[in-house]
Amino acid sequence: MPIQIEFRNVTKTYGSVSAVRDLSLSVCRGEFLTILGPSGSGKTTVLMLLAGFVAPTQGDIVITGKSVAAVPSYRRDQGIVFQNYALFPHLSVRRNLEFPLEMRGVKAADRTARVDRMLDRVHLKEFGERLPSQLSGGQQQRVALARALIADPPIFLLDEPLGALDRNLREQMQGEIKSLHKEFGSTTICVTHDQEEALTLSDRIVVMREGQIEQSDTPESLYDRPATRFVASFLGEANIFENPGFEVEADGAQSPGTVAMIRPERICIGAPGNSARADEDRRQSVPGVVADMIYAGPLRKYYVRVGSSMLVVREHVGSGQQIFKPNDDVRLDWLRSDVRFLANGR
């Protein structure tokens, strides 16, 4: 896919604060890119720069090969959705949806047809005449998505679009956003601090930290091969072996300046005297004592003291499993190939 959006060494400072620092990033046409990071890491600023609401202090933004430095935000042809919906409160749903079409000079009859189609698409056919205040949060957010997409923009920007919704609704809306992306094919950049949302939606995730990109990769690679401690701990849970009190074996040598890590679901828990596994020679096995067990629906989470470390083990609940209690002696084991090394980072 050809590159559609390029940030070239973009910096944005506010007084002494660098919201975005020397950031370079390319986004392909049709890609679904998520920007993930803690609060204050510069995610919104990246979107604001792309939308043209703020100008870079340094560097350039290029869309389909042309610098947009001189293009005002209303001419950038982007659909934008914010967390707080930003619907026009005094206009009906239908009028809210018509607005971007009017701005682009679409004729009245054509507007009506497109609004009808869009209302139907986001399951709000019966709600066209209501005001935003007469809708639930989820419905308002559907209107906001519909309004951003109705003019078929080549670029679709979302800033924490589901932050205000409760968990069930959020999952449902994630599915909706994904299917809208498939249908409309717009290049989509979604900002979130919610790792689950990022993993579910994206072709690629960019992890930001203090105005810079820490790592960028597919959800699977990022989760499976985080490059730094920051990424490993921000995206999922990680057991990081720092002076663990026993030797961590790994396939291949550990490079200097790195620390070993294993994901909780890669560790198996069993009774101390369990018979050897078939792939014993590829595993490391350590004795431990259960400190705590938390039952969380489909998962059981154990905290196990091993040497001077506390390891987290996550197990899918299944039938016929032995369940351990605090103070039980156990044996933990994992594939040496599941141990990763992390840079300590900045």
Ligand X SMILES: Nc1ncnc2c1ncn2[C@@H]1O[C@H](COP(=O)(O)OP(=O)(O)O)[C@@H](O)[C@H]1O
Interacting residues of 81 by C-beta distance below 8 A, sequence separation 6+: 141, 144, 145, 148, 156, 157, 158, 159, 161
Measured between alpha carbons, how far is residue 213 from residues 156, 207, 217, 228, 346 in Å? 21, 6, 11, 12, 11
Question: CB under 5 to 8 A by kind: which of Mg ion, ligand X, none does 139 bind?
Answer: none
Closer to ligand X by CB, 23 or 262: give it. Answer: 23
Smallest separation (angstroms) from Mg ion to the CB of 232:
23
192 is a site residue for ligand X (CB under 6 A): no
Among 27, 31, 32, 41, contact with ligand X (rule: CB under 6 A): 41
Task: Specify the stretch interacting with ligand X by CB under 6 A; choose among 39-47, 69-77, 138-146, 236-244.
Answer: 39-47
Taking the complex as a whole, the smallest distance from the CB of residue 38 to ligand X amounts, in Å, to 7
Q: How far is the CB of 31 from ligand X (least distance, A)?
A: 20
**Hey, CA dihedral for 20, 54, 157, 188, is it positive or negative?**
negative
Q: Answer for the pair 114, 192: CB distance below 8 angstroms, yes or no.
A: no
Count how many Cα atoms sit within 13 Å of the Cα of residue 143 in the half-sphere of its side chain. Answer: 32
If binding is defined by CB under 6 A, does position 226 make contact with ligand X?
Answer: no
CB 27 within 8 A of CB 189: yes
**Smaller CB separation from ligand X, 41 or 309:** 41
**How far apart (Å, rounded) are the C-alpha atoms in residues 114 and 108?**
10
Residues of the shown chain interacting with Mg ion in the complex, contacts defined by CB under 5 A = 44
209 binds ligand X (CB under 6 A): no
Assess 40 for contact with ligand X (CB under 6 A).
Answer: yes
Q: How many residues bind ligand X (CB under 6 A)?
A: 11
- Centre a 10 Å sphere on the Cβ of residue 123 and count the other Cβ atoms it contains: 11
Task: Please tell me whether residue 42 binds ligand X under the rule CB under 6 A.
Answer: yes
- Using the minimum distance from each CB to ligand X, give the nearer residue, 50 or 262: 50
Which residue's CB is nearer to ligand X, number 43 or number 111? Answer: 43
Residue 27 dihedral angles phi and psi, to the nearest 5°: -125, 130
Q: How far is the C-alpha of 34 from the C-alpha of 188, rounded, in Å?
A: 8
**Sole window of 23-31, 40-48, 105-113, 148-156 interacting with ligand X (rule: CB under 6 A):** 40-48
Contact 324, 336 (CB under 8 A): no
Is there binding between residue 39 and ligand X (CB under 6 A)? yes
Measured distance CA(8)–CA(20) in Å, rounded: 12
Q: Is residue 287 a contact point for ligand X (CB under 6 A)?
A: no
Give the 3-state secondary structure of 51-76.
Answer: HCCCCCCEEEEEECCEECCCCCHHHC
Size (the chain), residues:
346
Distance CA(317)–CA(269), nearest Å, equals 12
**10 binds ligand X, rule: CB under 6 A:** no
Closest CB 258 distance from Mg ion, rounded Å: 31
Nearer to Mg ion, 7 or 341 (CB): 7
Under the binding rule (CB under 6 A), the answer on residue 16 touching ligand X is no
Our CB check for Mg ion shows the closer of 73 and 274 to be: 73
* Residue 45 binds which entry of Mg ion, ligand X, none, CB below 5-8 Å type-dependent: ligand X
Return the residue of 43, 147, 181, 300 that touches ligand X, per CB under 6 A.
Answer: 43
User: E strand or H helix at 18, and its extent?
Assistant: strand 17-28
Interface mask toward ligand X for 44-83; x: CB under 6 A: xx--------------------------------------
Residue 88 tokens, joined: 């026009």
* Residues forming the site for ligand X (CB under 6 A): 14, 17, 19, 37, 39-45
